[in-house]
Structure 1
Amino acid sequence: MGLLEIGALLLLLMLLMLSGGVWIAMTLAIVGWVGQAFFTTTLPGKNLFSAFWETTASWELAALPLFIWMGEVLYRTRLSEQMFDGLSPWLSRIPGRLMHTTVLGCGIFGSVSGSSAATCATIAKVALPELERRGYNRDLALGSLAAAGGLGILIPPSITMVVYAVAADASVIRLFLAGFLPGFMLMGLFSAYIAWWSLRHPDQVPAPDAPTTLAEKLRRSGSLIPCGLLIVFIVWVLVAGIATATECAAFGVLGSLVIAAAGRQLTWKNFWEGLTGATRVSCMIMFILAGAAFLTKTMAFTGIPRELAEQVIAMNLSPYQLIAVLVVVYLVMGTALDGISMIVLTSAVVLPMIQKAGFDLVWFGIFIILLIEIAEVTPPVGFNLFVLQNMTGVDSNRIAKVTVPFFICMLVAIVLITVFPGIVTGLPNWFMGAEL
Structure 2
Amino acid sequence: MSEIYLTLLLILTLFALLGSGVWVAFSLFGVGIFGMTLFTDAPVGDVLATTVWGASNHWALAALPLFIWMGEILFRSRLSEDMFSGLSPWMGKVPGKLLHVNIFGCAIFAAVSGSSAATAATIGKMSIPELSKRKYPESMMIGTLAGSATLGLLIPPSIILIVYGVATEQSIARLFIAGVLPGLLLVGLFVGFVIIWAVMNKDILPDVIEEISLREKLKRAKSLLPVIILISGVIGSIYTGIASPTDAAAVGVVLALLLSWFTGDLNKTSFFQGLMGATKTSCMIAFILAGAAFLTVAMGFTGIPKLLAEWIGGLELSPYALLAALTVFFVVLGCFLDGISVVVLTTSVIMPMVEQAGIDPLWFGIYIVIVVEMSQITPPVGFNLFVLQALTGRNILAVAKAALPFFGLLVLALAIIIAVPEIVTYLPNNM
Same fold? TM cut 0.5: yes
Q: Distance in 2 between matches of 1:392 and 1:268?
A: 31
Residue 64 of structure 1 contacts residue 282 of structure 1 at CA under 8 Å; is this kept in 2? yes
1:266 and 2:262 matched? no
Following superposition, the deviation at residue 370 of structure 1 comes to: 0.7
Question: 2:186 and 2:206 mapped to 1: Cα distance?
Answer: 25
Pair 1:372–1:9, CA change in 2 (3 A): farther
Aligned runs of 1:68-107 on 2, under 5 Å? Answer: 68-92=68-92, 93-95=94-96, 96-101=99-104, 103-105=106-108
Partner of residue 319, structure 2: 322
Q: What amino acid is the match of 1:38? A: L
Counterpart in 2 of 1:120?
116
Report the counterpart of residue 151 of structure 1 in structure 2.
154
The CA deviation at 1:377 is 5.3
Against the structure 1 CA distance between its residues 416 and 248, is the aligned structure 2 distance closer, same or farther, given a 3 Å change threshold? same
Asked if 1 retains the 8 angstrom alpha-carbon contact of 2:119 and 2:149, the reply is: no
Matched to 2:189, the amino acid is L
| Cα distance, 1:221 vs structure 2 | 1.6
2:56·2:286 contact (CA, 8 Å) conserved in 1?
A: yes
**One-letter code of the match for 1:123?**
T
- Give the deviation of 1:403 after TM superposition: 6.7
The change in CA–CA distance for 1:281 and 1:142 in structure 2 (over 3 A counts) is farther
Alpha-carbon displacement from aligned partner over 1:221-276 (angstroms, at most 9, x marks no partner): 22212222222222343345442111111111111111222233322222222222
For structure 1, which segment, 220-229 or 123-132, has the greater mean C-alpha deviation from structure 2 after superposition? 123-132
Segments of 5+ residues of structure 2 without an aligned counterpart are: 133-137
**Over residues 382-422 of structure 1, what are the superposed CA-to-partner deviations in whole Å (9 max), with x where a residue is unaligned?**
9x95799799989xx98999876555434433432343455
Q: State how far apart, in whole Å, the 1-side matches of 2:323 and 2:420 are.
A: 18
TM-superposed deviation, 1:87:
1.8
Partner of 1:114: none
CA contact (8 A) 1:367 1:414 kept: no
Q: Which amino acid aligns with 2:320?
A: I
Read off the aligned partner of 2:417 and give its amino acid letter.
I
TM-score (norm 1): 0.72
Q: Which amino acid aligns with 1:370?
A: Y
- Equivalent residues of 2:120, 2:387 under 8 A apart: no
Of the structure 1 ranges 216-225 and 416-425, higher mean CA displacement relative to structure 2 is found in 416-425
Alignment check: 8 A CA contact 1:154 1:179 kept: no
Does the 8 Å CA contact 2:167/2:293 hold for their aligned counterparts?
A: no
Secondary structure, aligned partner of 1:416: helix
Alpha-carbon distance in structure 1 between the residues aligned to 2:6 and 2:390: 32
For 2:300, the aligned partner's letter is: A
Q: Which amino acid aligns with 2:272?
A: W
d(CA) in 1 for partners of 2:385, 2:100: 22
- Cα distance change on mapping 1:50 and 1:309 into 2, 3 Å: same
Query: What is the aligned partner in structure 2 of residue 129 from structure 1?
Result: 125
Total equivalences in the alignment: 407
Q: Percent of counterpart pairs with the same letter?
A: 35
Q: Which residue of 2 aligns with 1:419?
A: 419
Distance in 2 between the 1:257 and 1:13 partners? 45
Q: Taking structure 2 as the reference length, what is the TM-score of the superposition?
A: 0.72
Please tell me the residue identity of whatever aligns with 1:224. Answer: L
| Contact in 1 for aligned 2:173/2:244 (Cα 8 Å) | no
Matches within 5 A, 1:237-316: 237-316=237-316
| Aligned alpha-carbon RMSD (Å) | 4.7
Q: In the aligned structure 1, how far is the partner of 2:183 from the partner of 2:329? A: 23
